[in-house]
Amino acid sequence: MLYVIGLGLSDEKDITVKGLEKCERVYLEAYTSILMVEKEKLEEFYGRPVITATRETVELESDDILKDADKVDVAFLVVGDPLG
């Protein structure tokens, strides 16, 4: 399952944590908004690596993000509200 999870607007603690807890891979959408915290702080707080998803990754390599999402949970983190 692919989960689109909002990070809020400030720091690593603004995230909706429940969806993140069960995800095997975590991607950070990193080109449409400015995150006010370093990726390393996210990784430290979440206890797992965070893969930076550049515009190229999202638009041209989306199959990598979706790979095995029918078998494992994958998080796609976005700054702010995921539906905004």
> Looking at the domain assignment, is residue 33 inside a domain?
yes
CATH code for position 7 = 3.40.1010.10
Please give the model's pTM, rounded to 2 decimal places: 0.87
> Looking at the domain assignment, is residue 70 inside a domain?
yes
Tokens of 43: 């990784």
Cα 13 to Cα 1: distance, rounded to the nearest angstrom = 23
> Looking at the domain assignment, is residue 42 inside a domain?
yes
> Looking at the domain assignment, is residue 67 inside a domain?
yes
Cα 26 to Cα 49: distance, rounded to the nearest angstrom = 7
Tokens of 20: 């993140």
> Looking at the domain assignment, is residue 83 inside a domain?
no
Domain count, the chain: 1
**pLDDT, tens digit, 9 for 90 and up, residues 5-17:** 888 777 777 777 7
> Looking at the domain assignment, is residue 19 inside a domain?
yes
- The range of the structural domain enclosing residue 39 comes to 2-78
Cα 27 to Cα 52: distance, rounded to the nearest angstrom = 6
Q: Assign 4 to helix, strand or coil.
A: strand
**pLDDT, tens digit, 9 for 90 and up, residues 20-40:** 788 999 999 988 887 888 889
> Looking at the domain assignment, is residue 44 inside a domain?
yes
